[in-house]
C-alpha cells in the first residue's frame, strides 16, 4: 500500500488562522478555546475579520488587541472600505498602530444594502487598492489583501481581476490570501497566471475545512467558488451525520493541502470559523505540530 503525496511535504510549512469576533459570551468561549488550542502550532499570524459595513469595528478591535495582550500570537486586523470615510478608516488604522498592531488585511468589503450592489462611500476609499495606499500613508503596516483563484463575481474578466490584484500589490501589499476554493488545479493555474503577470508576493491558499457541506455550497455560490463534483459525491448522504461529516471534512481538506504542497505551496491560511479541531488535524497532517511534549516520568524511565 502506498499513500499518495506523502513524501511531498515541504520542510517548513507556514500556517495562519482566521477568526471572527464573537457576538456573545458563549461564542467568545469557543473562540478563546480555539485560539488556545491552535496557539502552540506557532502560526505566522492570526487574523480577525471585520463585519459587513464595519458592524464589528469595536469587537474586531477588542479581539485583535486581546490576542496581542494575552497570547504569543501575532494578530492581524481586517479592515474594509464600506460605510466609512477615509478619515474614519485612517483613525481606526491609527488606533491599531498605537495598540502595537502592525498587520492589516485590507479589503473592499461587500455592499451593505439589500440590493447587493457595491457603491463606494462618498469620501471613502473606493476599492481595496485605494485602501492599501491609504494605510501605507498612515503607517508602515504589513498589508495582506484578498485574491480570487476563481475570479471575483464583480470582476469584468479574469484579466481585470488579476490587474486589480497587481494594483493592490503595487500599492504596498506584501501577501495575497485567496478566497476559499476546493480544486487544487484552479489554484495552481491562478498562481501561475499571477506569476506571469509579474505578481511576486506570496499567494497563500485560503483553506476552508468544510464542516457543514450544505452551508458551504450556499456560501460558495455567493462568492463564486465552485464545488467539484467529487466533493459533492464525497459528502453525499451525510447531511444528518455530523460525526462522519467531520472525519470526511478532515480527509478532504488534508488531501487538498497535500495536493497544494505537492505543487509547491508552503503556506496555508485556514478559515477556522472559530473552531480548532479540523484545522488542528489538517495542520498535523501537514507536519505543523506543537513542540515535542516533555516526556512523562513514566516514559522517561521506560
Segment near ligand FAD (CB under 6 A); pick from 49-57, 207-215, 251-259, 287-295: 49-57
Packing angle of the helix pair 184-196, 158-170 (nearest 10 deg) = 60
Q: What's the burial of 279, exposed, middle or buried (CB within 10 Å: 0-12/13-18/19+)?
A: buried
Our finding on whether 50 is near ligand FAD (CB under 6 A) is: yes
State the binding string over 113-132 for ligand FAD (x if CB under 6 A, else -).
--------------xxx---
Choosing from 101, 177, 254, 282, the residue that interacts with ligand FAD (CB under 6 A) is 177
Q: Is 233 a catalytic residue?
A: no
CA nearest to 161, candidates 196, 140, 190, 121: 190
Choosing from 74, 102, 136, 152, the residue that interacts with ligand FAD (CB under 6 A) is 152
Total binding residues toward ligand FAD, as defined by CB under 6 A? 24
Instruction: Single out the catalytic residue among 18, 70, 142, 243.
Output: 18
Q: Which is nearer to ligand FAD, 102 or 284 (CB)?
A: 102
Angstrom distance (rounded) from CA 144 to CA 171: 11
3-state SS assignment for residue 105 = strand
Q: How many residues does the chain have?
A: 302
Angstrom distance (rounded) from CA 143 to CA 106: 7
Angstrom distance (rounded) from CA 219 to CA 150: 14
Our finding on whether 39 is near ligand FAD (CB under 6 A) is: no
Write the DSSP symbol of residue 297: H
Choosing from 42, 62, 110, 142, the residue that interacts with ligand FAD (CB under 6 A) is 110
Binding site for ligand FAD (CB under 6 A): 49-50, 52, 78, 80, 105, 107-110, 127-129, 146, 152, 154-155, 160-161, 164, 168, 177, 179, 206
Active-site amino acid positions: 18
Amino acid at each position: 500500500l502506498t499513500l499518495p503525496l506523502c513524501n511531498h511535504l515541504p520542510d517548513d510549512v507556514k500556517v495562519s488562522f482566521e477568526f471572527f469576533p464573537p457576538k456573545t459570551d458563549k461564542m467568545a468561549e469557543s473562540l478563546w478555546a480555539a485560539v488556545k488550542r491552535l496557539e502552540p502550532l506557532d502560526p505566522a499570524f492570526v487574523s480577525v475579520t471585520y463585519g459587513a459595513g464595519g458592524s464589528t469595528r469595536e469587537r474586531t478591535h477588542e479581539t485583535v488587541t486581546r490576542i496581542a495582550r494575552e497570547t504569543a500570537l501575532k494578530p492581524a486586523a481586517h479592515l474594509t472600505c464600506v460605510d466609512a470615510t477615509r478619515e474614519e478608516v485612517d483613525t481606526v488604522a491609527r488606533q491599531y498602530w498605537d495598540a502595537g498592531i502592525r498587520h492589516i488585511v485590507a479589503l473592499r468589503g461587500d455592499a451593505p444594502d439589500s440590493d447587493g450592489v457595491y457603491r463606494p462611500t462618498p469620501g471613502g476609499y473606493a476599492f481595496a487598492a485605494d485602501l492599501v495606499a491609504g494605510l501605507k500613508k498612515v503607517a508602515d503596516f504589513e498589508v495582506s489583501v484578498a485574491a480570487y483563484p476563481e475570479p471575483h463575481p464583480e470582476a469584468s474578466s479574469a484579466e481585470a481581476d488579476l490587474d486589480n490584484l497587481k494594483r493592490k500589490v503595487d500599492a504596498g501589499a506584501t501577501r495575497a490570501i485567496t478566497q476559499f476554493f476546493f480544486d487544487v488545479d484552479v489554484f495552481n493555474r491562478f498562481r501561475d497566471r499571477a506569476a506571469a503577470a509579474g505578481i511576486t508576493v506570496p499567494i497563500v491558499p485560503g483553506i476552508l475545512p468544510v464542516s457543514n457541506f450544505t452551508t458551504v455550497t450556499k456560501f460558495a455560490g455567493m462568492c463564486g467558488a465552485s464545488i467539484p463534483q467529487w466533493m459533492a459525491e464525497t459528502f453525499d448522504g451525510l447531511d444528518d451525520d455530523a460525526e462522519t461529516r467531520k472525519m470526511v471534512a478532515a480527509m478532504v481538506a488534508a488531501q487538498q493541502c497535500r495536493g497544494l504542497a505537492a505543487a509547491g505551496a508552503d503556506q496555508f491560511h485556514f478559515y477556522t470559523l472559530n473552531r480548532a479541531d479540523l484545522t488542528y488535524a489538517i495542520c498535523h497532517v501537514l507536519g505543523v505540530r506543537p513542540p515535542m511534549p516533555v516526556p512523562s516520568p513514566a516514559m522517561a524511565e521506560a
